Amino acid sequence: MKIAVVGLGFVGLSLTSVLAAKGYDIIGIDIDEQKCNKMINGISPFFEPELEKTLQNGLKKKLKISTDFSLITNCDFIFVTVGTPQNANGSIDLSTIKKAISSIGQKISKSKKKPIIFIKSTVIPGTIKKVILPILEKKSNKKAGKEFGLISNPEFLQESSAIKDTEFPHVIVLGSSDTKSVQKAKKLFLKLHPNVPIISTNHQTAEMIKYANNSFLATKISFINQLSNICQKIPGANIDDVGKAIGLDPRIGKLFLNAGPGYGGSCLPKDMKALINFANISGINPSLLNAVEEVNTKQLEEIIQITKQKFGNLTAKKITILGTAFKPNTDDIRDSVAVELIKKLLKKKAKITIHDPKAIKNTRKIFKEKISYAKTIEDALTQSQCAIIMTQWKQYEKLSNNQFKYMTKRFVIDCRRMLVKKQLDIDYYAIGLGK
């Protein structure tokens, strides 16, 4: 059995590495030659815990990484994991996936097998049927269902736990009405992930499941963020205790109830916008989804408001941002709330210094010389008038008076309530705590 994965980003490289480490005969394909060269040498182009080790294990076995699409010609299973970035109006840009699908179509035209193509990329309901299937049939000159299988197979892994999530998914969704291909796919997944529930449905429902999943997660976050703002107005109230208690109700569940500065990353904001756009086009007023987005955008304003209340004018105020990655254990800053905050503070002429254990290089690509970059937390805090903890990096839990003493004004805004239980000689303000 030969497997190909097309598109080696977070999802594709995690899948490729995990399958390769298990000993599967697998080819990872990406159009970026530089990236491929790194991966061939066992280097991941981005930071993800356990990924490099898993990739290197795979390379010792049967893994091949290449830019050459013709290697997929005789594969039994082809996973498509290319990105579907956002257009200005919130819709998704299908140009990359269309190109990848065209190349796959051309290559499978010569295949003697009946390959099954899994679409893992996030696409709006109807895309597989209306866009992907026609391209594949045209380019391959073959019929879906007869000469190749086409299955929607959305991915639910989270960055920072991508390897674990790839090995132990909570669900497998298979969307296709081609029962023979679905049967074959079920066999593969049962072997890979015994005991994981498989939801078998049609293309469009599978595509919708992905958006339902991410938009529900975003809803949970905006819900707890709005409640945290209310808690701030109740002296002594604590949003973490509220989250902990309601999370024990099995109907609610404990995850994604951590109040903070709003959700970011390359998925939740993009998928929310795409779903809102799709609902509007379909004649449905997405009032709840709009509210979720609005709460998310306003959360950042809350933080700016706090700094304004303290300082009035922010011109030349030295502000330290602790954490620019969109969450801990990643170097990814795509759609990071911290990056948005820095942009807004720069507009108000504040002087920004940042610290992040992994994301400095990526942050520098955006802000270049406009802000300062500190290697240590102490350097970041030196002569600062305000520190804002944005990302829940473990390192920040250990912050102490020894480090805050370097600040000229020890005003600290803790968006993740990491220092709540500490006795510190600082002017402390935490999101979700009533003063």
Report strand pairing: 77-80 vs 116-119. parallel
- Between residues 59 and 292, which has the closer beta carbon with respect to ligand UGA? 292
- Between residues 266 and 403, which has the closer beta carbon with respect to ligand UGA? 266
Distance CA 238, CA 332 (A): 30
Provide the minimum distance between the beta carbon of 321 and ligand UGA in the complex, in angstroms, as a whole number.
15
Provide the minimum distance between the beta carbon of 350 and ligand UGA in the complex, in angstroms, as a whole number.
22
Distance of CA 305 to the CA centre of its chain: 28
Q: Does 214 bind ligand UGA (CB under 6 A)?
A: yes
Give yes or no: 386 in active site. no
**How many residues bind ligand UGA, per CB under 6 A?**
20
Q: Choose, from 231, 267, 386, 415, the residue flagged as catalytic.
A: 267
What residues numbered 260-289 form the site for ligand UGA, per CB under 6 A? 260, 263-265, 267-268
Q: Does 257 bind ligand UGA (CB under 6 A)?
A: yes
- Between residues 314 and 433, which has the closer beta carbon with respect to ligand UGA? 433
Contact 1, 25 (CB under 8 A): yes
What residues numbered 337-396 form the site for ligand UGA, per CB under 6 A? none
Provide the minimum distance between the beta carbon of 346 and ligand UGA in the complex, in angstroms, as a whole number.
21
Residue whose C-alpha is closest to residue 412's, from 310, 277, 325, 284? 310
Distance CA 378, CA 398 (A): 12
Among 49, 126, 147, 156, binds ligand UGA (CB under 6 A): 156
The strand order across the sheet containing 372-373 reads 372-373, 351-355, 318-322, 386-389, 411-414, 427-430
- Between residues 178 and 414, which has the closer beta carbon with respect to ligand UGA? 414
- Between residues 373 and 393, which has the closer beta carbon with respect to ligand UGA? 393
- Between residues 105 and 432, which has the closer beta carbon with respect to ligand UGA? 432
Contact 27, 75 (CB under 8 A): yes
Contact 324, 343 (CB under 8 A): no
Q: Does 86 bind ligand UGA (CB under 6 A)?
A: no
Q: Does 326 bind ligand UGA (CB under 6 A)?
A: yes
Among 72, 132, 221, 227, binds ligand UGA (CB under 6 A): 221
Q: Does 207 bind ligand UGA (CB under 6 A)?
A: no
Residue reference for tokens 């190109």: 99
Contact 123, 97 (CB under 8 A): yes
Cβ-count burial 245-267 (b if 16+ within 10 Å, e if not): ebbeeeeeeeebbbbbbbbbbbb
Provide the minimum distance between the beta carbon of 26 and ligand UGA in the complex, in angstroms, as a whole number.
21
Residue type, 33: E
Residue whose C-alpha is closest to residue 6's, from 86, 85, 105? 105
Distance CA 309, CA 238 (A): 21
Provide the minimum distance between the beta carbon of 29 and ligand UGA in the complex, in angstroms, as a whole number.
20
Provide the minimum distance between the beta carbon of 268 and ligand UGA in the complex, in angstroms, as a whole number.
5
What residues numbered 39-58 form the site for ligand UGA, per CB under 6 A? none
Note the residues at the interface with ligand UGA (CB under 6 A).
Answer: 122, 155-159, 214, 217, 221, 256-258, 260, 263-265, 267-268, 326-327
Which residues are tagged catalytic?
267
